[in-house]
Structure 1
Amino acid sequence: MNGGAWWAAVRGVAKAGIYPVDILEDDPAGHQEATLAYYAMLGEGAGPSPEVFSLPTGEQVKLEASSVCFCTVHRDEPQHKILVLVNPQDTKAAVAVYVQQSWWTTEDVLRTSDPSREGLMKVQSFGERIVLFILNVVIFGRLERNLDDDDMFFLPHSVKEEAKILWRDGAAVGFYTTKRKGSLCGNGTGTCYLLPVFDTVFVRRRHRRQGLGLAMLRDFCQTFREDEALGVSWPISPAMYQVCRKFLAANPAERGRLWEVEPPGAWGQRGNIWLKVQLQQSRLPPDFEWGGAVPCGLIASRSVVESAGETLSLSLWQGQKRERKPGGGILACCCLPS
């Protein structure tokens, strides 16, 4: 089959409403074997001329070893990789993914023909793991991230990362991940999280400011409704603070439950988000020295804050500025305000 006929066949499958997440078997090893075999064929340069992949823009990219690269799907299992086709004009941008022995545009990888995939759905299958990877590393990491903000990025998730994908009108438009209470804080450590943590979250640009960030935060709080304290991974972005502010303003009962936390989430590693929102609105610095009078009707002492008749247990920041950890890493919450 020549390149044009092959591409037409693949597009015909997509137009028929069949997408990788709907047909990919839960066989990572088999997928890896098929991908390596295909890559070896590209390296051998079989055939008189390379086939081409047509981008939605009409531009054609040659399918050859120099135009593809492997990407690690899970940070804790580097042997699991997927093959991506890069844009010759921007080698950092992936335009297609090799799945089920075919090339698919990144947008088609994010689509589904299953009407039951709607709303927030827990990631379970191998195909859903690939969707999570594309949203996280390709869409956010390369296409929709502010490239001037070198600190704001997510590493590939772990193979057992607890995550939910937000499906809307037949496409994956966002995700959030959590750390369960009792789960390990990282490889090589015996330290475990002391509370459930809302760890990473992303909503695609064209779906922002539609309440989806609020919906994901609400879903997280409802999922762990029996827990007295819930965390949001430090550092929280300014945009995510706006989501938290709106959520807590509408849900007063959650104000004493939601904390900005560093692993593992001990009391000395927590800051009450609602209090910090109030301090920011009062234009007080986040490293404000506690004690004495505080504006906005808040009364601060060494361990208790009373606001509007509510008593909240708080950790002390002790006047210390919180610095970003060197080397980057997984940062919390990059979606725009809902």
Structure 2
Amino acid sequence: MAAAVEEGPGLLYPVDMKGTNPEVIAGTAMEYYGKLLEESSFAPELFSVPGREKVQLEASLMHFLPLYREDSKCKILVLTDPQDKTSVLALHLHNSWWLTEDVLKTTDPFREGLRQVETFAERIVLFVLNCIIFGMLERSLACDALFVPHPKKERAKIFWTRGEAVAFYTIKGKGSLCDGLTSQCYLLPVLDTMFVRRKFRRRGLGMKMLHDFCQTFAAEEALGLSCPVSADMYRVCQKFLEIHPEEQPRLWEVEAPGDWSQRVSIWLKIQLEQNLPREVPLGKLQDGKLGQSNEAQKNERDGRFPKSMASLEPNSVAEEFKCEPEDAFDLQAHEHVVQMPQNKGSKKRAREPPLDCDPKHFRPLP
């Protein structure tokens, strides 16, 4: 098995490979991990990371992370940084280790702009952007939003530019279930989560995604943005609605499921901002929470998820929107122990961290 993938003229990145199958990805990863445990006495393989010393491929640095919120069986094997075990260096895909940045790349010239997430390989890209890039690497210390993976059937679009996935947004469709705990369904389309990578901010990508959302549901009289909406998000909405006044009566800040008693006009709140004290920002969140959904707050009250991510130390915020967070991983606390196939006499076991957080919608954007 290749420990690292070298770039070359004929290289295909994971998202470009045909026939990416979740069972095969999980099966080869489990087989590789079990073999690694059995051969722990041998000299470990080395993984090349640009700009630093090679990393030893040790079982203690590896974790199985759930790809989907509601499906704990579909998992991805990841390699964490020995210098910072809250940070993911690579993912095990197609029987090789791939750097996180390479998982976000493509050689397909037609994969440009906003593209609907359709394949399993694209679901992996969405997972990396959401849970690894934002949840672990580019999340500000000041950001209190937490992240979990999106549901398997979550409607999503990824923004591709020059061969790289740089942003995404997801939608709760009209008529879709609000959560897995009730029978309530959304009464209007809702822009649920959005994120733009740090190095691609200030390029209008958030505006483009908001415009795409409005155009996708051009026939709908009302569109929602998950409550609560941050002050940064309101600034983006203000700029967008000034350019597109025809959208002013359509955008609402909504709580699920979004009936009229659960909607607030975004344009009206923008107009009222001038009458608010400057120390009280328009999009100030209740209890100081950054973009945490009603579902997440309920989970927190019920003790299903933690209130913070003290064990993670990310270092950035998302761009232009504070969408409902989809909660991040704690790679160290509360690990599950998974029994691996072993040779007789072996006592080593695989450790597998669960999801340790809570969901919500809008990502923080400056």
- Tell me how far 1:44 sits from its aligned partner: 1.1
Equivalence for 1:17: 11
Q: Secondary structure at the match of 2:67?
A: strand
Equivalence for 1:261: 254
Pick aligned residue for 2:196 from 190, 195, 203: 203
Distance 1:25 1:281, change over 3 A: farther
Equivalence for 1:334: 363
TM-score (norm 2): 0.77
Equivalence for 2:158: 165
Equivalence for 1:175: 168
- Aligned partner letter, 2:214: C
Which range is displaced more, 21-30 or 221-230?
21-30
TM-score (norm 1): 0.83
- Tell me how far 1:185 sits from its aligned partner: 0.5
For the pair 1:53 / 2:33, whether they are aligned, the reply is: no
Which range is displaced more, 238-247 or 199-208?
238-247
- Tell me how far 1:24 sits from its aligned partner: 4.8
- Tell me how far 1:148 sits from its aligned partner: 3.3
Equivalence for 2:70: 76
Equivalence for 2:80: 86
Q: Is the 8 A contact 1:24 1:100 kept in 2?
A: no
For the pair 1:240 / 2:233, whether they are aligned, the reply is: yes
Distance 1:205 1:281 in 2: 30
Write out aligned runs for 1:184-203 (5 A): 184-203=177-196
For the pair 1:283 / 2:312, whether they are aligned, the reply is: no
Q: Is the 8 A contact 1:68 1:83 kept in 2?
A: yes
Equivalence for 1:291: none
Write out aligned runs for 1:271-310 (5 A): 271-283=264-276
Write out aligned runs for 1:116-135 (5 A): 116-135=110-129
- Tell me how far 1:156 sits from its aligned partner: 0.8
Distance 2:114 2:272 in 1: 32
Q: Is the 8 A contact 1:35 1:83 kept in 2?
A: yes
Distance 1:247 1:72, change over 3 A: same
Q: Which has the higher contact order (CA 8 A, sep 6+)?
A: 2
Distance 1:148 1:91 in 2: 20
Pick aligned residue for 2:136 from 135, 142, 150: 142
Equivalence for 2:344: none
Distance 2:146 2:110 in 1: 31
Q: Is the 8 A contact 1:119 1:167 kept in 2?
A: yes
- Tell me how far 1:236 sits from its aligned partner: 1.2
Which range is displaced more, 18-27 or 86-95?
18-27
Distance 1:284 1:230 in 2: 28
Q: Is the 8 A contact 1:93 1:142 kept in 2?
A: yes
Q: Secondary structure at the match of 2:55?
A: strand
CA deviation vs aligned residue, 1:51-81 (integer Å, no higher than 9, x gap): 0112112222111211111111101001110
The alignment of Structure 1 onto Structure 2 pairs a total of residues equal to 297
Q: Is the 8 A contact 1:248 1:274 kept in 2?
A: yes
Distance 2:11 2:212 in 1: 29
Equivalence for 1:293: none
Distance 1:112 1:47 in 2: 37
Q: Secondary structure at the match of 2:167?
A: strand
For the pair 1:225 / 2:254, whether they are aligned, the reply is: no
Structure 2 runs not aligned, ≥5 long: 290-296, 301-306, 308-357
Larger Rg: 1
CA deviation vs aligned residue, 1:5-30 (integer Å, no higher than 9, x gap): x456x2145x6331000015242112
Which range is displaced more, 76-85 or 277-286?
277-286
Pick aligned residue for 2:26 from 28, 32, 40: 32
Q: Secondary structure at the match of 2:74?
A: strand
Equivalence for 2:348: none
Distance 2:253 2:148 in 1: 20
Q: Secondary structure at the match of 2:121?
A: helix
Q: Is the 8 A contact 1:279 1:285 kept in 2?
A: no
CA deviation vs aligned residue, 1:156-214 (integer Å, no higher than 9, x gap): 10000100000000000000000000000011321000000000000001111110000
Q: Is the 8 A contact 2:3 2:45 kept in 1?
A: no
Equivalence for 2:103: 109
Q: Secondary structure at the match of 2:237?
A: helix
Q: Secondary structure at the match of 1:74?
A: coil
Distance 1:211 1:41 in 2: 47
Q: Is the 8 A contact 2:172 2:192 kept in 1?
A: yes
Pick aligned residue for 1:252 from 245, 249, 252: 245
Distance 1:278 1:17 in 2: 52
Greater strand proportion: 1
- Tell me how far 1:220 sits from its aligned partner: 0.2
